[in-house]
Structure 1
Amino acid sequence: MPKTTAAPAPVHYEVAAANLQAHLYQVTLTIAQPQARQTVSLPVWIPGSYLVREFAKNLQNLQARQGKRAVPLHQGDKHSWVAQCREDAPLVLTYEVYAYDNSVRTAWLDSARGFFNGTSLCLRVHGQEAARHSLYIAPRPATAAWSVATGLAPLKTDKKGFGLYGAAHYDELVDCPVEMGDFWQGQFTACGVAHRFVVAGAAPSFDGERLLADTQKICETAIRFWHGKGKAPFGSYLFMLNAVHDGYGGLEHRNSTALICGRRDLPRVGDKRQSDGYTTLLGLISHEYFHTWNVKRLRPAEFATYDYDQENYTQLLWFFEGFTSYYDDLLLRRAGLIDDATYLKLITKTINQVLQTPGRKVQTVAQASFDAWVKYYRQDENTPNATVSYYTKGSLVALCLDLRLRQEGKTTLDDVMRGLWSRCKAGPMAETDVLAVLEQLAGRSYARDLQQWVHSTDELPLAELLAAHGVAAKSEPAQLAQRLGLRVAENHSVQIKTVLRGGAAEKAGLAPGDEWLGVQVKGQGWRISKLDDVGFYAGSQKQLTAVVARDGRLLELPLQLPLPGNSPAPTKGRSRPATPDNVGLTCTDATATSRWLAGSA
């Protein structure tokens, strides 16, 4: 980053928590040398979260002036404005932003905490995106007990972090979110790099020292994965974690990440056990940290320059999200935070999620990447039938590729990732680069493999490849919901959320939104409050009548209960049923499995 001074930059923002109870930020934007007709706009999306979110809907009271003269503003479209200003004087714009989205993607402000991404608060000054930018975070009496955390470079700040920060350009400014509040914080060093961790909303039982120690292991493992004994591509790193009653998610940035988790998933003082929730949190930390390399630097060629005004399409999210999803838990294993059995349990869950998604037969994982803007981020009751997750199937593509490379014995996926980093100079990447590095390191073309696994709806050769590394994939009996082809919610009755394609429930005529009230079996009627009641009252009978409420009417739908299947483990081909049995993984050769999981050649 170019050397900066403590003076405001040519494009300068002042942000103040103006009204905590009304959840309003006050923003002042000063453009030192505006154009005669200066256009400004607010992004419609945030990189890393592929949905047009219309951040401008929260902007209000926009005004402009030069000196004491008010400057007319003309709104050109939903998110941009043109100021009818002169070029000979600084242009000052003031506006408010409503902030009440408690996620990692936008902005939040209340009496306990503030958080914002620059894409939600900072208007982009057209024509000056490459100029230096600065951000002044103003202290206020209402926030006197708060501190500030951000990945931006501090230029002149007080001991709590309020004050002036600098960025080399607009992209850097909006890629460094800001956390404010009376948060817990700690620090550690990983491979010579300073890391800071702040946590908002934790309960008094929170064990911060354990979180720091475990995160340090993750960071050291990731840095060594990419660079061996070399240096990380950032000088410092910041984790910002918001602990809430119920939540999960993360968003990667160039030298920081914003995370959200359920506060019960945090480690607890005096409890040495590792809960499933804490394992999931560590996997999230690992995932977002791995993104520091894989998508923030090594990234789709289509993302070489972000277009903040519209969707940015790529077919490569199966690689950038899917391969990151493969390595997140694998690096937990290599860091010693989970064992082989736990890792295989996590892989089993991923395999079953994909197999229980009929949409895997409809949409390729490359198509799913391209359609993220309208399908993955806009899920509805038909999503499992129409699409496949580029996270889960993408991670299984990485698994298959790693196992195939190891089976052939010339290279590993680890080497391929580092080879791509080198070939693409830690920058824009295309699928042709993946194929080129694969051929270079493996000694053969992998075009046919990627065509089948990424660009077709064929099943992945999981059983075959796992068996070659000491893991047997065997069919296990499916639960009733899976056998019926249903996804439900249970609260005094059974509410049907999704009817999976080709299942018994679809054949019977059940539909999303139905409330399943009871069953009739051999002339007797029974009230049900959970799905397990169906099997309890049906007994050995396979023919029954489902009594459902739909749009105020009671319907009686003949339903045949399917028997637990006996289908084989997943292999190549398209002949799998819509709702296959679960797959269980069993280690048959601990030495071979450990060699793979430990990263040995």
Structure 2
Amino acid sequence: MNIVTEITIEKLNQHLVDIKIEFTTSHDNPILEMPSWTPGSYLIREYARHVQNLKSLNIDGNNLQVDKVSKNNWKIICASGTRIVVNYEVYAFELTVRTSYLDNRKALLIPASLCMYIVNHHTNETSKDEEITLKFNIPSTWKMYSSLLKKENDYFVKNFDELVDTPIAMGSLDVIKELQYNYDDNGKEIPNTVVFVGDASNEDINKFALDLQKLQDCSIKMFGKLPYNRYIWLLYITNNGRGGLEHKYSNASIIPRYMFKDPKDYAKVLSLEAHEHFHVYNVKRIRPQQLGPFDYSSEVYTRLLWVAEGLTSFYDNIFLARSQLVDRNSYWEMIADDLKRYYQIPGRFIDSIESSSFDAWIKLYRPDENSVNSTISYYLKGGIVGMMLDLEIRSQTNWNASLDTFYKYMFGEYEKDPTKGFIENDLQSLIESSTSTDLTIFWTKYISGKEEIDLEKYLNILGMNIEKSSTDNVPYAGINFKVRSTSVQSILRDSPAEKAGLYAKDEIIALNGYKVTSKNFEKVLKNHESNDLVNITLFRDGKLIDIDLRLENPIMDKIAIVEAKEITDQQKKLLDVFFYS
């Protein structure tokens, strides 16, 4: 087909990216199809809604008729063998790692939200396996970064999947800070580029690059080698917002400004980078069959997102500790924070991490006021279960195997045949066979089941205990407020508020006749005792209502993971092994 895609950046203040696709059709009336989602982010995003002014010409410049036949499909009326030129604009003004963005100083191009592939409507075959030549026209004072490979003066990708897997950063030199280094992987020099895009922050790019190399050191210690021959770390600095998305030869992150000095803030940045970098093994290479190659037109279902994201969440924190980027106390504080969030989600008794994974398309990425009561994050619980699974394997094998053992085995299998993902239903047996364990009970309780986790049982192996307490002994009501608002975000299941008849979206204005805000609500409650009956005044759909609510005992909302007073020498030794010390 000889597909050429040309991307032009010139309509900066209109936030419009110009796309030109040129190809020779092998069949009559080809269809151009725009993806509806991008891998790593499981939500139908309807990228086609931002396409405008789509027109088509033949190579002689004559107009070709274009019929839009569905929300993301355009049929070009022409004969087989026609050389076709298609031009269109894409509105790009949402700065996330899943969507494209353009302003007068910078751009982040997410190819799934910009580019199209060709469909043969007779056979439903597509051009997704075809090589694509890429051309870029950008402002002369801008610079571009990506993991794309060059061919003469242009770039190319082997197929559409590779294009989608390649975020493209660019901007004027005054908003870009760049550092390049070569990482020595067993004598092989791997070029890396660290790119910050955005207005001045408090980052130290030299220190940051050294810390990234420590994460790479940890990867080599676990897997034996890095799986790539080049890598780009793309970080967009913004006033707010946070997120990352993994790619085979790069990752893209959104980082709030001024996160690089305070140790806890900086640990969050490093944890995000560790998470996305671990994905170069887990998901981008070691993956269930459902996660590549992709159908970009509709949902792709798997019950293993708890593996893709949850187990990666376990490793992003432990890698910080193993790399000594955080000390052990800081590591346990991060795990305690996760536990605190977990225990505040009643939905953990309703949803397993397998079903949460399967329903990601309609739940995790589309939260509502009842989400906290009906589902559990496969990131959050998956990370906690990952630690438990690691320690279960270690316990069953007298510490001769671990979760690392499984991943090393799977990476070896990937290298034998990079095109092949594993069968979803084989996962349990793959872990068991590679580690010589029986995980039937564990799987039934914590993965396919909804039984309450017993992390303390596993932490005791390491000589660590969980301590729970109430922060301020505030009686429990079970109300979550919207940010900076007295409007109720959610009412927790089986809470005093639910029993009293409070609803999400109620606007609470007073308690026992005195004005309250979301900031002072708990402070006011602190003046009451458990079992007190309090009167709450609120607006519901514009009507003033009074509701009596009986307070209950304070919840244990403060969690610490601490070393046992009677920790043994053997437990200290196991703790050292756990942290690679």
- TM-score between both structures, scaled by the size of structure 2: 0.91
Q: Structure 2 CA distance, aligned partners of 1:386 and 1:537?
A: 32
1:531: which partner in 2?
521
**8 Å Cα contact 1:34-1:90 kept in structure 2:** no
**8 Å Cα contact 2:473-2:526 kept in structure 1:** no
Map 1:96-495 → 2, pairs under 5 A: 96-126=89-119, 127-139=126-138, 143-157=139-153, 164-182=154-172, 183-190=176-183, 191=185, 192-203=189-200, 205-226=202-223, 228=224, 230=225, 232-267=226-261, 274-408=262-396, 409=398, 410-424=400-414, 425=416, 427-477=420-470, 483-489=476-482, 491=484, 494-495=486-487
Map 1:49-128 → 2, pairs under 5 A: 49-66=41-58, 67-126=60-119, 127-128=126-127
**8 Å Cα contact 1:186-1:197 kept in structure 2:** yes
**CA offset digits 1:410-442 (Å, max 9, x no partner):** 311111111122245454123444323333244
**CA offset digits 1:211-264 (Å, max 9, x no partner):** 1111121122123322x2x4x221100111111001100111110111001011
Q: 1:482 to 1:431 in 2, by over 3 A?
A: farther
1:594 counterpart (556, 575, 578): 575
**8 Å Cα contact 2:475-2:552 kept in structure 1:** no
**8 Å Cα contact 1:333-1:597 kept in structure 2:** no
**Secondary structure of the structure 2 residue equivalent to 1:233:** coil
Q: Structure 2 CA distance, aligned partners of 1:10 and 1:470?
A: 62
Q: Structure 1 CA distance, aligned partners of 2:251 and 2:112?
A: 15
1:544 aligns with 2:538: no
2:123: which partner in 1?
none
**8 Å Cα contact 1:435-1:445 kept in structure 2:** no
**Secondary structure of the structure 2 residue equivalent to 1:421:** helix
1:577: which partner in 2?
none
Q: 1:596 to 1:388 in 2, by over 3 A?
A: farther
Q: Name the amino acid aligned to 1:440.
A: S
Q: Structure 1 CA distance, aligned partners of 2:477 and 2:245?
A: 36
Shift of 1:36: 1.6
Aligned residues: 555
Shift of 1:473: 1.5
**8 Å Cα contact 1:490-1:531 kept in structure 2:** no
Question: What is the aligned-residue identity percentage?
Answer: 29
Q: 1:454 to 1:490 in 2, by over 3 A?
A: closer
Shift of 1:30: 0.4
2:122: which partner in 1?
none
**8 Å Cα contact 2:321-2:579 kept in structure 1:** yes
**8 Å Cα contact 1:316-1:431 kept in structure 2:** yes
Q: 1:540 to 1:295 in 2, by over 3 A?
A: closer
**CA offset digits 1:466-516 (Å, max 9, x no partner):** 11111111322156789322222464x633211110111111222111222
Q: 1:406 to 1:240 in 2, by over 3 A?
A: same
**8 Å Cα contact 1:286-1:331 kept in structure 2:** yes
1:160: which partner in 2?
none
**CA offset digits 1:305-335 (Å, max 9, x no partner):** 2001100000000111100000001101111
Q: Structure 1 CA distance, aligned partners of 2:57 and 2:197?
A: 38
Q: Name the amino acid aligned to 2:412.
A: S
Shift of 1:593: 5.9
Q: Structure 2 CA distance, aligned partners of 1:96 and 1:318?
A: 37
Shift of 1:197: 0.9
Q: 1:212 to 1:349 in 2, by over 3 A?
A: same
**Secondary structure of the structure 2 residue equivalent to 1:354:** helix
Q: Name the amino acid aligned to 1:78.
A: K
1:45 aligns with 2:37: yes
Q: 1:479 to 1:527 in 2, by over 3 A?
A: same
1:554 aligns with 2:551: no
Higher mean C-alpha deviation, range 499-508 or range 582-591: 582-591
**CA offset digits 1:519-549 (Å, max 9, x no partner):** 11xxxx3222222332254368822111122
Q: Name the amino acid aligned to 1:598.
A: F
Q: Name the amino acid aligned to 1:222.
A: S
Q: Structure 1 CA distance, aligned partners of 2:474 and 2:302?
A: 35
1:14: which partner in 2?
6
**8 Å Cα contact 1:469-1:596 kept in structure 2:** no
Q: Structure 1 CA distance, aligned partners of 2:332 and 2:164?
A: 38
Shift of 1:76: 1.8
Q: Name the amino acid aligned to 2:150.
A: P
Q: 1:528 to 1:366 in 2, by over 3 A?
A: same
Q: Structure 1 CA distance, aligned partners of 2:531 and 2:31?
A: 70
**8 Å Cα contact 1:73-1:83 kept in structure 2:** yes
Q: Structure 2 CA distance, aligned partners of 1:546 and 1:448?
A: 46
**CA offset digits 1:389-410 (Å, max 9, x no partner):** 0001111111111111222313
Q: 1:97 to 1:441 in 2, by over 3 A?
A: closer
Q: Structure 1 CA distance, aligned partners of 2:475 and 2:91?
A: 43
**8 Å Cα contact 1:488-1:498 kept in structure 2:** yes
Shift of 1:70: 1.2
CA-atom RMSD in angstroms: 2.0
Q: Structure 2 CA distance, aligned partners of 1:373 and 1:452?
A: 24
Shift of 1:100: 0.6
Q: Structure 2 CA distance, aligned partners of 1:130 and 1:415?
A: 34
Q: Structure 2 CA distance, aligned partners of 1:397 and 1:360?
A: 12
Task: In structure 2, list runs of 5 or more residues that go unmatched.
Answer: 120-125
Q: Structure 2 CA distance, aligned partners of 1:250 and 1:290?
A: 12
Q: Structure 1 CA distance, aligned partners of 2:157 and 2:436?
A: 44
**Secondary structure of the structure 1 residue equivalent to 2:6:** strand
**Secondary structure of the structure 2 residue equivalent to 1:538:** coil
**Secondary structure of the structure 1 residue equivalent to 2:195:** strand
Q: Structure 1 CA distance, aligned partners of 2:40 and 2:292?
A: 13
